[in-house]
Amino acid sequence: MAQEKLLLIPGPSPVVPRILDALARATVSHVGPEMVRELRGACENLKKIVFSAKGEPFVVAGAGTLSMEMALLNVVGPGDRVLVVSQGYFGQRMGQICEAFGLPHDVLECEWGKAVLPEELASRLAEQPYEVVVCTHVDTATGASAPVEAYARAVRKAGALFVVDGVCATGGIAERMDDWAIDVVLTAAQKCLGTPPGLSVLVLSERAMEKRRSLPSVPAYYADLLRWLPVMHDPTKYFSTPCVNEIRAFYEGTRIIMEEGLEARFARHDLFARAMRTGLAALGFGFFTDPNFLASTLSVVTYPEGVDDKAFRSALYENGVVVAGGLAQTAGQVFRMGHMGNLAADEVLFALAAVEKTLIALGRNVKAHASSGAAREVLSG
Ligand code: PMP
């Protein structure tokens, strides 16, 4: 069998053997004692991951886009207006979901690579009332991280519900639901949580649940969270067959996060981002994202003059590392590298050595080990 490549696209992130082993365990009854223990355990851990004492967690088969849809459909009522705060591709997708369901909305956006400033959000909210505000924590196309805590203050002041797309952040960057007053964190299994793709993951605050309960119906069936709530409270109940193997893997993933500790995990994401960027900069790469908004979970990297995107990425693949190309307007101009989830320091160094080898194979003049040496210094503090 060919050797597996190191998967450094911005999600899915590499899945460690302990989680793969959990995925490969027996398929058990979806209403049996193993699911009671593991789904419950996953839900308890998930609340801790987003710092929510009384929130309602949901883990269902799907992906990040279904989480986005579920979040909107369950908290936006008839006559409500949604403000989408967008710093790029996934904010635009929020707008598209609103359009698909006929939800009245406005988009407050900014140049790619930056995030909307909290003052801009506050002044928009002062001008016009909205019942729901949604934002993307980290836009995976631009590498920009939004100031979620400051947004939350502005949204709470305006009395709206606040929904955060944490698909590229939850479990890697802090999202303190209770302290900051976030009403919905929606995310997916495959990024900072380090588990295989296949799950929609959400936590709703008490306020958000009250809002859902106040709606006589929502334009959804599978995506109606009130149909899932009894299952999340008591996994012996049936609504629609949960993906038991994925849930076993997800439970194991949340246990790994608890063992590492959240603050340590956030600090590790910061450290690896600095190490990776220091190493890449030493090789002549630049960064697309405005330095004020750099996310710790991925880097959107610009090439040194004369390095071709396709040639670089395919040679890097041959050297054992998979990265992603640019999305939409950045296609062909950048590569995107994830450094999130359960990555290890030696994988950061391996990736940089592979990038260095790739540049040499493409005929560039680079100083041997300059990049991994610089990164090693960052890693050793
Ligand atoms: N939001 C963000 C911020 C994302 O990065 C992604 C996936 N890259 C999504 C939503 C959509 O998730 P999925 O591809 O799992 O549907």
Cα of 65 vs centre of ligand 1, distance in Å, is: 6
Residue type, 143: G
Residue 370: pLDDT band (50, 70, 90) is confident
Task: Specify the residue with its C-alpha closest to ligand 1, atom 2.
Answer: 167
Instruction: Return the closest-CA partner of residue 70 out of 177, 174, 252, 201.
Output: 201
Instruction: With a cut of 90, say whether residue 381 has pLDDT above it.
Output: no
Task: Specify the residue with its C-alpha closest to ligand 1, atom 14.
Answer: 64
Distance CA 30, CA 302 (A): 46
Q: Indicate whether residue 69 lines ligand 1 (CB < 6 A).
A: no
Atom of ligand 1 minimally distant from the CA of 169: 3
Helix (H/G/I), strand (E/B), else coil: 331: coil
Substitution site in 134, 163, 167 for ligand 1 pocket (most atoms within 8 Å of beta carbon): 167
Task: Specify the residue with its C-alpha closest to ligand 1, atom 12.
Answer: 64
| pLDDT for res 68 | 98
| pLDDT for res 87 | 98
Distance CA 339, CA 214 (A): 41
Residue 209: pLDDT band (50, 70, 90) is very high
Cα of 64 vs centre of ligand 1, distance in Å, is: 5
Q: Indicate whether residue 13 lines ligand 1 (CB < 6 A).
A: no
Residues 6+ apart with CB under 8 A from 33: none
Exposure b/e, 122-139, CB count within 10 A at least 16 = b: bebbeeeebbbbbbbbbb
Residue type, 175: E
Q: What mean pLDDT do residues 339-362 have?
A: 97
Write out pLDDT tens, residues 16-29.
Answer: 999 999 999 999 99
Write out pLDDT tens, residues 173-205.
Answer: 999 999 999 999 999 999 999 999 999 999 999
Instruction: With a cut of 60, say whether residue 360 has pLDDT above it.
Output: yes
Q: What is the DSSP letter of 304?
A: P
Cα of 360 vs centre of ligand 1, distance in Å, is: 34
| pLDDT for res 191 | 98
Question: Which region among 81-95, 218-232, 358-372 has the lowest average model confidence (pLDDT)?
Answer: 358-372
Task: Specify the residue with its C-alpha closest to ligand 1, atom 8.
Answer: 140
Cα distances (angstroms) measured from residue 222 to each of 66, 225, 232: 10, 8, 14
| pLDDT for res 2 | 60
Contact between 132 and 178 (Cβ < 8 Å): no
Distance CA 50, CA 55 (A): 9
Instruction: With a cut of 60, say whether residue 336 has pLDDT above it.
Output: yes
Contact between 195 and 18 (Cβ < 8 Å): no
Q: What mean pLDDT do residues 139-165 have?
A: 98
Q: Where are the beta strands (DSSP E) in the chain?
A: 6-7, 56-61, 82-86, 105-109, 132-136, 138-139, 144-145, 161-165, 184-188, 199-204, 286-287, 298-302, 321-322, 324-325, 334-338
Cα of 369 vs centre of ligand 1, distance in Å, is: 35
Atom of ligand 1 minimally distant from the CA of 10: 8
Substitution site in 13, 87, 90 for ligand 1 pocket (most atoms within 8 Å of beta carbon): 90
| pLDDT for res 367 | 86
| pLDDT for res 3 | 72
Q: Indicate whether residue 142 lines ligand 1 (CB < 6 A).
A: no
Cα of 363 vs centre of ligand 1, distance in Å, is: 36
Structure tokens at 42: 């996953």
Sheet containing 324-325, strands listed edge to edge, beginning at the edge strand earlier in sequence: 286-287, 298-302, 334-338, 324-325
Distance CA 220, CA 371 (A): 51
Cα of 167 vs centre of ligand 1, distance in Å, is: 6
Write out pLDDT tens, residues 80-132.
Answer: 999 999 999 999 999 999 999 999 999 999 999 999 999 999 999 999 999 99
Average pLDDT, the chain: 97
Q: What mean pLDDT do residues 233-246 have?
A: 98
Atom of ligand 1 minimally distant from the CA of 63: 15
Atom of ligand 1 minimally distant from the CA of 68: 10
Cα atoms found within 13 Å of the Cα of residue 95, Cβ hemisphere only: 14
Q: Indicate whether residue 136 lines ligand 1 (CB < 6 A).
A: yes
Distance CA 118, CA 262 (A): 26
Cα of 351 vs centre of ligand 1, distance in Å, is: 24
The residues with which 165 forms a beta bridge, in sequence order, are 136, 186
Q: What is the CA radius of gyration of the chain?
A: 21
| pLDDT for res 369 | 86
